[in-house]
Structure formats: C-alpha cells, structure tokens
Structure 1
C-alpha cells in the first residue's frame, strides 16, 4: 500500500535560490533516517546575480548533509578547513555531529548557462550514539559509486545498500539512497530489505498500480509492499529510505533526539562557539528569531 504522497512545496533559502522542499512534511517527518530533502534548480538567474544564490556560513548538529548535483557546481567550505568544489555525480557527505558550520557558494557564472545548475540536498539524522561524534567531510567521486544498468534502466547507488549493491560511503545507520534514470516504458521496483522507502520524482512521470505520478511528488511505501514502477516518459528518480531512528526534533539547521540539545545549539551559534569556515568567516547567517516555535517543528528558514 502507498502510505502517502508528498507534494513538494516552494521555499526560499536565499534571495536568489528557491527550492522545492519535500521533507520534513507535517504528516511524514522522516523516511528511514532521512529528515530533510530539498530540490534546487534548474536555476534561471542572470549571471551577474549569481552571488545572490550563495548560502552563507551556517551551523548544523546531529545530522549528515548529503549534496548531490545533476548539473553545475558548488563551492563548499566548512569549519574543518575543507574547501571542495562539488560536481555532478559526486557524493559530498558532511557529518555535523557535535557541531559544524559550512557555506555553499556559487562562484562560477558559467554554471548558469542553459539552466544547468540543479541539485538535491538531503539530511540524514544520526543515531543517538553518533549525535555528538566529531564533525567530518568526505567527497566521493562518481567512479567510487556502484552503477547498475539494464534494459531501459540506469542506477547509481549513492549510499547504503540496495538490490545487492553495497556503497563505499561511510554511513551511521542502515539506509539506501539511489539515483535512477528510466527510459520510457521501463519498469523498476523498490529494494525489499528496508523498512521505509520513498521515491522522489525529479523529472518525468511514473505509473504505479494504474495511477500516474509526476515530477515534484514523493511516494512513500512501507516494508512488504513491492510496487512496480513504469516510466511514462524519460524519468529521473531519487529513491531513499532505511530503518527508522525514533523521534527527532528539528529546528532551523539543528537535529537532535533531545530538545535541550537544540536549545544548546542555538546558544552555541549565537555566542560564536561553533567555528566558522577559516576561509569564509567574514559573514554568516544569524540565528533566526524563535517566535516561540516548538523545537519539534521545522523552521521555514531551514538552510541546506
């Protein structure tokens, strides 16, 4: 049975960067350990305005951010001193753990040619034993990621395990994350070994049990339900899920199993105890005004 269909909502993370937000959703906060998902692009903006898309230094705790590009490039800088150009097909996995700050800047105007900039960013909540782990950042090249092809099907395993493939990306709990491209009329299924599974339609459309679903929708299925997906046209999908971790609280860019840890993170950022990226420390995103929003509610100002 199809548990729920989530419609992506528009959200602005900077004046020049509007995204489609999929997770969290009021009726479905997480899919396995995945607690956040944004789809940005294809971006249409004048090259002279490219700096308006920059995401200034901002903090995270208790999660891993996963940046995956279909086109363009992004410059990542973080508290560890990492400077990494993120390119299409790579996996950029930053574990915030006890606390990290990073920026994402768009420094090459050529990436806007033909609306080429397009990316997905997800957040993976950490199990309790890893929530206060040391921050880290890893970049994995496309050739390090398993790829499977069949008639009308191309699939890259971004992280975890699925369909007998096992990824090289270091993860903290059982999960899977896949980039799938289907030709028209191609059929595809879902990995059966995971408790919670979601399909996000990046572009194109699929038919499931006689109903057609379109770009911008996420379909979520429970374990034991094994639908057949048929591409109605050339289609790109992101499949994700895994084992649930239990309740998590999210406020702005902070995720934790404990409300009081969210409050501590607020104070740490406000008082400058989370270090800014050494090469990008002249400006930052200030702590948003709380407005009495409960720690368990997603802030509309959440940043990637």
Structure 2
C-alpha cells in the first residue's frame, strides 16, 4: 500500500532560513510531475528580521513554481514585470518555460499580522513539448479554487482534478494538488485515476493501515490501491500526484529533460541573458559553484 515514506530533511537557504525539503529525494525524484517540494515555517520574525529573509532574484527553466501560503504574506516580482503579493489561500503559478527570473520578499509589515510565516512551494516539471514555452505568471484567488466541506473535512483544490472536482488553474499535464484539513478521527481517501500519488503531513498526524505518520513525512502510495487516511488528531494534509513525465535533470533552479539545456541555462544566467525583474534588479543570486556532482537536489540558495 505504501511504496515509500519520505522524511523531510532540514535545508538552509542562503539567508540562514531553515526549511523542510521533501522532494527531490534520492530514492524518489518525482511524484507525477512534482519534482520539488519545500515546507517553510511556521516561523516568527521581528520587523527587523524580515529583510534578511528575502529570496533575491534567481532564474528557472523547464518548470512551473507553485506557491501556497498557510500564513503570512510574500511579494513576488518577476522578469515579466509582474508584482504580486500572495496571501493565504491564493496560488501563485509561475511557468518558467524557456527562462524567467523572480524574487520573493517579505517586505510588507502585514506579514507579521498572523504571528508567523508558513508556506509550501512545489515545482511541477513541464512536458518535453512545453519545456521551452513562453514564461507566464498567474495569481489565482480563493474564489477560483473550489472548496469542499463534509463532516470532519475541509478541502481546497489547488490545481488539477481530484474527487470529481476541477478548477481553472492552467496546468500542462494531468495532476492533482489538494489542501485537506481533517478533524481528529476523520477517515479520508486518496484520489484515484493517477499512476503516482502522495500525501504530505503538514500538521498533525494520520494512520494508514494502523501505522502512524506525522509532520514532515510524505507517504508515497502504490498505484491502483485505495488507501484511507485516519486523522489521529486535527491534521493538515497536502495531496499531490499525477502522471509520470519521464526522467528529468535538476540542477539548482533548473529542470530539463536535457543535460545540455541545463548547461545552457547556467551559461545564460552567468552572462545575464535571463532578464532580472525590472523593479527588483539591483541584486541577485549568483550561479552557484559547479562542483561537478551528479544532478541532484538544488543547492539551498533559493526557495523557489
């Protein structure tokens, strides 16, 4: 029933902001098209600390970044000229395609209003045919993301299709990404119809087949089965998965089906051929030193 249990590992961003890194993992690089997953927070900042947590402009190719907040505020700026504050319950979906640069800054004092910051960021690899698509950005508001409630269950569909529900978030391949809140004792299933499926425990704990799993664990399920999660306590679960796209290389913030394309992206960033955000271009994350290691988890200089 469970193919694998992935325990989140601590990773430190370049600004000493420690987060939980879930994907990629050496035994499981992807779940459907999801190739990267970070869980940041909950963490409390003072107003003086906020600027030090900023994620400076950095590049991406070959993927879409998906930012989702439980609490706090983050200001996104990118090389398309977009400036967007993301709030809890919204989705920032940025498709890098052939290349984009963006920053994430914690500059609004209202970031502190809820007492802490907590967010999830995933990367969705693009199908080969779409890897060089034009970059794009869309912010989706809560009223565009269907919510389902039942006894002991609250569920928001972030993207894709699950449980017979779908939304208008633009994706490039079949997938699902769902935010689920369960009250203690509630039983809940996993979407069927996808070859690869996982459940990440963001808060609380759940049982599957009598075994208990807690915060920071990603449960990867066997294809074709119909598992049931039982909430041991009030819990928040992120369900994700989809269809496998084939192997991908990942280096730093670059994802591609081609090693050569990764090398080109390195050269493009170093040479300044990927534009910086027009309203955030005075500093940026430099290309990390290439120690000639096999492609693996990105160095921890950038959250997204």
Deviation track 1:145-197 (CA, whole Å, cap 9, x = no partner) reads: 11111110010000000000012100000000000000010110001111100
Residues 145 and 158 of structure 2 are in contact (CA less than 8 Å); yes or no, is this contact kept in structure 1?
yes
1:123 aligns with 2:123: yes
- 1:260 and 1:121 map into 2 onto residues whose CA distance is 26
Partner of 1:51: 51
User: CA contact under 8 A between 2:72 and 2:114: conserved in structure 1?
Assistant: no
Partner Cα separation in structure 2 for residue 113 and residue 89 of structure 1 = 16
For these two proteins, the number of residue pairs brought into alignment is: 303
**Structure 1 SS opposite 2:49:** helix
Q: Deviations over 1:219-268 (max 9, x none)?
A: 00122121111000000010000000000000000000000000000000
| 1:71/1:270 CA distance change after superposition, 3 Å | same
Q: Is the 8 A contact 1:14 1:54 kept in 2?
A: no
Contact 2:74 2:111 in 1 (8 A): no
Partner of 1:129, secondary structure, is helix
Shift of 1:117: 1.0
Q: Is the CA contact (8 Å cut-off) linking 1:197 and 1:221 kept in structure 2?
A: yes
Q: Structure 2 CA distance, aligned partners of 1:29 and 1:302?
A: 20
TM-score (norm 2): 0.98
C-alpha displacement of 1:298: 2.0
Separation (CA, whole Å) in 2 of partners of 1:40 and 1:297 = 20
Q: Is the 8 A contact 1:19 1:41 kept in 2?
A: yes
Residues 152 and 183 in structure 1, CA contact (< 8 A), matched pair in contact too: yes
* Deviation of the 1:300 alpha carbon: 2.7
CA distance in 1, matches of 2:78, 2:110: 24
Q: Match for residue 71 of structure 2?
A: 71
SS at match of 1:247: coil
CA shift at 1:292, angstroms? 1.0
State how 1:157-196 maps to structure 2 within 5 Å: 157-196=157-196
RMSD over equivalenced CA pairs, Å: 1.0
| 1:230 partnered with 2:230 | yes
**Counterpart position of 1:285:** 285
How far has the Cα of 1:293 moved from its partner? Answer: 1.7
Query: Which is further off, 28-37 or 221-230?
Result: 221-230
Write out aligned runs for 1:248-259 (5 A). 248-259=248-259
Shift of 1:16: 4.3
Q: Distance in 2 between matches of 1:63 and 1:201?
A: 24
Structure-2 residue corresponding to 1:220 = 220
Post-superposition CA distance 1:14-43 (Å, at most 9, x none): 324211000000110000000000000111
Distance of 1:145 and 1:211 partners within structure 2: 32
Q: What is aligned with 1:141?
A: 141
